[in-house]
Amino acid sequence: MTFRTILVEKKTGHAIVTLHRPGEMNALSCEMRMELEDCFNRLEEDHEVRVIILTGGDYVFSAGMDLKEMTVISDAEIRDYFLCITRYLKKIYGCRKPVIAAVGGIALGGGFNLATVCDLIIASESAIFGHPELKFGINPLFNPLRQIIGLSKAKEITMLGEPIGAREALRIGLVNKVVPPEKLMAEAESMAQELAKRSPEAIEAVKRISAIAPCLDKDSALDFEMNMETLLFSRTERKEYMAEFMRALKNRKKQ
């Protein structure tokens, strides 16, 4: 896959998608958003790819939306502009495969949004997250952030717009791990390799449960999860995984 604003590298079991507008600090232009949507469509259908890592490189994730584009949008173009943003975010948010954001440096505004629609976030110690949108009179993307860190903290972050360092992001549950900058991609790839060993159907089920169960009452959520487990348990693949686990356990006891 060849694109103008992103780089794609396929490895065994996973793919790395790198935002690549270094001169613009990976600002999310219309072209980049369309290329990300196209790229994720293709990777989702690629059976060799089980996990997707999304990164901006070692020094910047994304400075946010491309302000040069935003300042010249005519009133007639506003609706289409935001529909384009909605489409690409939905594609990543709803991806059937696990998506890991590897965040080095700043992730501001639209870049912050992009990280929060991924399943897991690994941040380098240099990472800085922030929502400055209210300073420009527009609202940040609220709900994905709320789902990660809760209502009260999400309100604080979006309303005040104060930058958040990597350690604070870890403390409030925004990110899953914080690592030195030089270990960012190694850690992301290690996690991707572990996820790639898991059943793709079971991973997809966890993603669906995490999206739907919080919206249901307690009984309905439990029914939904048990229905998913019934479907997965009836698969031949489940028997193979369990047999392999039992063999490994037996061999361990012999040692």
Q: Taking every pair of C-alpha atoms in the chain, what is the biggest distance, in angstroms?
A: 72
- Position 246 scores a pLDDT of 72
Contact (CB, 8 A) for 27 and 20: no
Mean pLDDT score, 20-49: 97
Nearest-CA neighbor of 41 among 13, 5, 17? 17
* pLDDT exceeds cutoff 90 at 48: yes
Mean confidence (pLDDT) of the chain: 93
- Position 51 scores a pLDDT of 98
- Position 136 scores a pLDDT of 81
* pLDDT exceeds cutoff 70 at 254: no
Q: What is the pLDDT of residues 191-240, one digit of tens each?
A: 999 999 998 998 999 999 998 998 899 999 999 999 988 888 877 666 67
Interatomic CA distance for residues 60 and 56, integer angstroms: 6
Interatomic CA distance for residues 236 and 127, integer angstroms: 43
How does residue 241 score in pLDDT terms, banded at 50, 70 and 90?
Answer: low
Q: What is the pLDDT of residues 125-150, one digit of tens each?
A: 999 999 999 888 888 999 999 999 99
Interatomic CA distance for residues 199 and 185, integer angstroms: 23
Mean pLDDT score, 51-67: 95
Mean pLDDT score, 172-181: 98
Total residue count of the chain as it appears in this document: 255
How does residue 151 score in pLDDT terms, banded at 50, 70 and 90?
Answer: very high
Interatomic CA distance for residues 168 and 208, integer angstroms: 28
User: What is the model's pTM?
Assistant: 0.90
Interatomic CA distance for residues 25 and 4, integer angstroms: 15
Interatomic CA distance for residues 206 and 67, integer angstroms: 36
Phi and psi angles of residue 178, each rounded to the nearest 5 degrees, phi first:
-125, 130
Nearest-CA neighbor of 52 among 245, 164, 192? 192
How does residue 92 score in pLDDT terms, banded at 50, 70 and 90?
Answer: very high
Interatomic CA distance for residues 53 and 189, integer angstroms: 8
Contact (CB, 8 A) for 62 and 20: no
How does residue 255 score in pLDDT terms, banded at 50, 70 and 90?
Answer: low
Contact (CB, 8 A) for 108 and 61: no
Contact (CB, 8 A) for 225 and 209: yes
Mean pLDDT score, 180-198: 96
**3-class SS of residue 185:** helix
Contact (CB, 8 A) for 166 and 102: no
132 Cβ neighbours under 8 A, 6+ residues apart: 64, 108, 109, 161
Q: Which of 165-169, 175-179, 236-240 has the lowest mean pLDDT?
A: 236-240
- Position 231 scores a pLDDT of 82
- Position 184 scores a pLDDT of 97
